[in-house]
Structure 1
Amino acid sequence: MTFVPSVPSGSATGHSRPVVAFFDADETLIAMKTPFSLLRHRLRRQGDLTGAEYERLVEPLRRLASMGVTPVEVVSKFYELHAGVPWDDLVTEARQWYAELRETGAPFIEPTLARLRRHQRAGHHTVVISGSWPATLHPITDDLGVDLVLCTEPELDADRRLTGAIRHAMFGPAKADAVRQALEKFGADPADCHAYGDDPGDLTMLEMVGHPTVIGANPRMTAHARRRGWPVLPATLVAGTRRQPV
């Protein structure tokens, strides 16, 4: 089933000023790290039926993350794994990945999905701001009827192959810049707007709006929410689905 907003996003229904609702994606809207899920899918299609090759590639990244290196450093190593891959082929594979995921049950986080649909019914603009890449985000956001996606962008060479580098990273302060960009685009007052995130890296985004909400049980995030009086929603999954680990 495809989720479709009941009114055109961005229309004026019940309010005179435009309102924007900002969402992180991975672990806020859907319970997985989508680029890693696509990598697992691609390797399985190439014959990695046991997942051994996936583990060989990903375990060094897990170690980096456990050492406390920045998300950008971990993501940079992930992109290096894809050097030379044709971007358009990857995008096509990502569409296939998401179609299969929807058939088996995409693990959307139910309270966040409910908020997204509520904002859409109210005619609010919906924007995903994510450290993930367009390949895995756009199949999801197209399905959900999201208006705008601002995310990490890979560097491509003249033949549209991934170089293994990042052209633009959407982490930390970059998320605040993306919020400003979207507010300007839609002509919205930040005091009227909403944001949803699960990770400390989302705080720069959450602090930009008048109505921030924390998703899940990250201790730093829930402590921050208590201090600021922000609401916290549980990261419970849509019935019949399961979280996908990295």
Structure 2
Amino acid sequence: MTSHPALPSLTTDHSRPVVAFFDADETLIAMKTPFSLLRYRLRRQGDVTGTAYERLVDPLRRLASMGVTPVEVVSKFYELHAGIPWDDVIAEAREWYADLRERGAPFIEPTVARLRRHQAAGHHTVVISGSWPATLHPITDDLGIDLVLCTEPELDGAGLMTGAIRHAMFGPAKADAVRKALEKFGADPADCYAYGDDPGDLTMLSMVGRPTVVGAHPRMTAHAAEHGWPVVPATLMPGTRRQPV
């Protein structure tokens, strides 16, 4: 079994700004949040058995298994929402999260604990995610995150989703987002932290001096071993369970 370094102690020198960057889905919370919202919506429309959900999502799973890029899979997801008012999606997402919180949101305990320590140390906290604002903002508002940079849907003049993506937050786009946040807060990347679970997070993790891998993705743990990065387990909060796509 590969041994990884311990998590670095947190910088508490308040004379210089420090930023802690987090991916969201599968890093802070154990689910793909847009798919969780889709399941919630369809269930409210009568899809008690999940048949309609499976019919919509299974083609996307097959695409992912074929090795297409995450943005291609997500593009197909957005196509499912063409013509839906974005304000309705946001309102429904607030209800989804309230329901999830009541039942037990599957937060990833070590990452959330680390987030709380960053906040207590006075660090700026930023979520950079390929997910969308509808499901991210209820979570990040609850957690007290300072800034959210994520995938944005394309809307028409009436505020309806076109089914296209205006801005995709994957791969290199995450590195660009880190640069913008560092500039916004005036932070030195060498002082900063980042947490991610997926190979798509590597560009973000590589931008800072104190990266951490979350979970057991083999490519991520191998990369962490090669570069001397710490790894934390994706252990769930007690009494909660992972929600599959």
What is the match of residue 156 of structure 2?
157
Aligned partners of 2:14 and 2:122 also within 8 Å = no
What is the match of residue 94 of structure 1?
93
Q: Which amino acid in structure 2 is aligned with residue 86 of structure 1?
A: P
Unpaired runs of 5+ residues, structure 2, are: 1-10
Q: TM-score, normalised by structure 1?
A: 0.95
Deviation, 1:13, is: 5.8
What is the match of residue 20 of structure 1?
19
**Cα distance in structure 2, aligned partners of 1:15 and 1:195:** 19
The yes-or-no answer on 1:127 pairing with 2:126 is: yes
Task: For residues 92-148 of structure 1, give each alpha carbon's deviation from its aligned partner in whole angstroms, at most 9, with x where no partner exists.
Answer: 000000000000000000000000000000000000000000000000000000000
**Cα distance in structure 1, aligned partners of 2:12 and 2:133:** 30
State how 1:12-161 maps to structure 2 within 5 Å.
14-161=13-160
What secondary structure does 1:165 align onto?
A: strand
**Cα distance in structure 1, aligned partners of 2:42 and 2:14:** 48
What secondary structure does 2:162 align onto?
A: strand
Deviation, 1:14, is: 3.8
**Cα distance in structure 2, aligned partners of 1:105 and 1:225:** 31
What secondary structure does 1:243 align onto?
A: coil
Which ranges of 4 or more aligned residues in structure 1 deviate by more than 2 Å? Answer: 12-15
Deviation, 1:16, is: 1.1
Deviation, 1:245, is: 0.1
What secondary structure does 1:74 align onto?
A: helix
- The number of aligned residues is 235
Deviation, 1:33, is: 0.1
Q: Which amino acid in structure 1 is aligned with residue 188 of structure 2?
A: D
**Cα distance in structure 2, aligned partners of 1:16 and 1:241:** 39
**Cα distance in structure 2, aligned partners of 1:117 and 1:159:** 39
**Cα distance in structure 2, aligned partners of 1:81 and 1:209:** 36
**Cα distance in structure 2, aligned partners of 1:154 and 1:92:** 16
Deviation, 1:45, is: 0.6
**Cα distance in structure 2, aligned partners of 1:83 and 1:213:** 37
Task: For residues 212-239 of structure 1, give each alpha carbon's deviation from its aligned partner in whole angstroms, at most 9, with x where no partner exists.
Answer: 0000000000000000000000000000
Aligned partners of 2:212 and 2:231 also within 8 Å = yes
What is the match of residue 182 of structure 1?
181
Q: TM-score, normalised by structure 2?
A: 0.95
What secondary structure does 1:163 align onto?
A: strand
**Cα distance in structure 1, aligned partners of 2:214 and 2:174:** 17
What is the match of residue 234 of structure 1?
233
